Structure 1
């Protein structure tokens, strides 16, 4: 699974309320509406600038906070192709995979805002095209790759009726 897009950089400890503020997620379950407000407390113009397939790039502990699935779903509906971070909060990481949002653990210190990136989830390599650098990524287990390629856990179960390697 190869992903291509531009980097949108954020710092450490980006919590789920920064991803989608509670002032929105308790008013509606419409993910298209929530996507209009994704990351706005950190970057008010993010939802307008992000293009389909672009990457959210962050430091450590991305997705800390609540365990609600709205955060990865809002990112997906905004067009984010994947989140790259040095580390993830465990529940966000699992929710992302379960909803079909690729999450990639790597050294994000080698990525600047606007860099063009190519991530190959199967080979475990990220290429920063802009800087001409290759960055190894933590490989995903085969079942997680399959869940992502199926569009998330619900779609995977609809397709197979169980976990299918």
Structure 2
């Protein structure tokens, strides 16, 4: 799985209420509707600017706050290919993988808004095509890559009847 798109950059401590405001989470479970409001408290034009395959790039502690799965699901339904951050809140990280959203830990200081990126989650390599630089990332284990390729944990379980480590 090789991903390619543009960077949309955010700061440290982006909590799940910034990702998708609680005022929407409790009104609907329609992910296409929620996706229209992803990141709007930090960037009101985000949904209009993001193109399929783009990346959210952030600092440390991305996804802190509540443990609701709507946050990574809404990001995924906004056609974001992956989230790249210095670190993630633990529950957000697991929810992201479980819902089929790739998340990679890396140094995001060298990535600017609009930079064109190529990301290889299995190898842990991010290429900034705009700057001609390579940024190492923590590679995802093969079982997580398999879960992501299957569309998330529920789809993986349906496909294999449980975890498949082969």
TM-score bracket, normalised by the shorter chain, equals over 0.9
Aligned residue number for residue 125 of structure 2:
125
| CA displacement, residues 115-137 of structure 1 (integer Å, 9 cap, x when unaligned) | 00000112211000000000001
Q: What secondary structure does 1:14 align onto?
A: coil
For residues 80 and 147 of structure 1, the distance between their equivalents in structure 2, rounded to whole angstroms, comes to 17
**Greater mean deviation of Cα atoms: 11-20 or 120-129:** 120-129
Which residue of structure 1 lines up, in the alignment, with residue 59 of structure 2?
59
How far is 1:142 from its partner?
Answer: 1.1
- For structure 2, the residue ranges without an aligned partner over 5 or more in a row are none
Is 2:43 aligned against 1:32? no
Matched residue SS, 1:27 = coil
* Superposed displacement of residue 150, structure 1: 0.5
Rounded Cα–Cα distance in structure 2 between residues aligned with 1:30 and 1:123: 34
TM-score by length of 2: 0.99
- Mark the runs of 5 or more structure 1 residues left unpaired by the alignment: none
Deviations 1:83-114 (A, max 9, x none): 00000000000000000000010000010000
Contact 2:7-2:112 at 8 Å conserved across structures: yes
Match of 1:41?
41
User: 1:1-165 counterparts in 2 under 5 A?
Assistant: 1-165=1-165
Distance 1:141 1:114 in 2: 28
Q: Distance in 2 between matches of 1:44 and 1:151?
A: 28
Root-mean-square deviation (CA, aligned residues, Å) is 0.5
What is the rounded CA distance, in whole Å, between the counterparts of 1:124 and 1:36 in structure 2? 30
Moved over 6 A (4+): none
> What whole-Å deviation, never above 9, does each CA across 1:40-60 have from its counterpart, x for those lacking one?
000000011100010000000
Partners in 1 of 2:85 and 2:148 — Cα distance?
Answer: 18
**Shift in Å at residue 62 of structure 1?**
0.0
Task: Determine the C-alpha separation between the residues in 1 that align with 2:141 and 2:131.
Answer: 28
Number of residue pairs matched?
165
